[in-house]
Amino acid sequence: MTSTASHRVRVLGGALALIVLGAIVLTAIQPQAPRPQPAPKREMLQVTVAKIKPELVDQWLEFQKNETIPMLRKSGLKSRDAWTTATFGEGFTYAFVTPIENFAQYDGDARPVRALGADGARAYGEKNRRFVESTRTFAIQTRPDLSYDIKMTAQPKLALLTDLQVVPGKTAEYEAFVKSDVVPVMRKARVGYAVTQTVVGGDINAFGSLIFYDSFADIGKGHPFLRVLGAEGERQLLVKAAAFVSHAERHVIRYVPELSFTSRPTT
């Protein structure tokens, strides 16, 4: 019995105590509504996309393994996931995903300076710039409320990446559409589906989605929209999405384990 109920019993006497006790017992034997689950936690991630000079890719890969990864580990970085274009998309392009614990981490020295000192960082930067044609860095947040997690036990080999621009002012409608129409399809298809949203460094109306696969053969079986809904159902879904989405691009990307590392279990 709660302290509030006990206080009322002492004040109002034994007759009311029986009523209170009866109410408690009745409540205890009634079916209880499920407790609301806390909303999945969003995480902040840094994404750096690098275009490597084609003629220097092999040397750059060795540089990454022998110098960049040790430097990042020494600087205290906990994990890095590396992806690259897999046939369908812009070639010689790599994306590196690292955690953002908080934005205060950007107030101090850059990671090469932390790990190598000022002179070492300067030498490292000179080497790195020789390989790189262009880079772009932006921050995203994960959207587990718009995703479907199938509890993968191993890192997927491939992903179908869709970059979306949502019509300004239509974000709420787009999110409702994903929850009501897209996530149920992914659940029926039994595929992992992850959604992210750009925070800074790019279009704030940009969303990205990843559908995870282990082979091109699986990708070739058709998009989950087609496999679950059929051709006409897929067409209707895309027509509905057109009210919220102004632009969409699809690419295939491949996970690169030799350029990735983690100090925690992979999820």
Q: Is the pTM of this model over 0.85?
A: no
Q: Return the structure tokens found at 7.
A: 């206080």
* List of domains in the chain: 44-139 (3.30.70.100), 143-255 (3.30.70.100)
Angle at the Cα of 134 (from 131 to 139), degrees rounded to 5? 120
CA 205 – CA 166 distance, rounded (Å): 5
Give the pLDDT confidence of 149-165 residue by residue, as tens digits: 987 778 889 999 999 99
Give the pLDDT confidence of 66-109 residue by residue, as tens digits: 999 999 999 999 999 999 999 999 999 999 999 999 999 999 99
DSSP letters, 72-114, are HHHTT--EEEEEEE-SSS-TTEEEEEEE-S-GGGGSS--HHHH
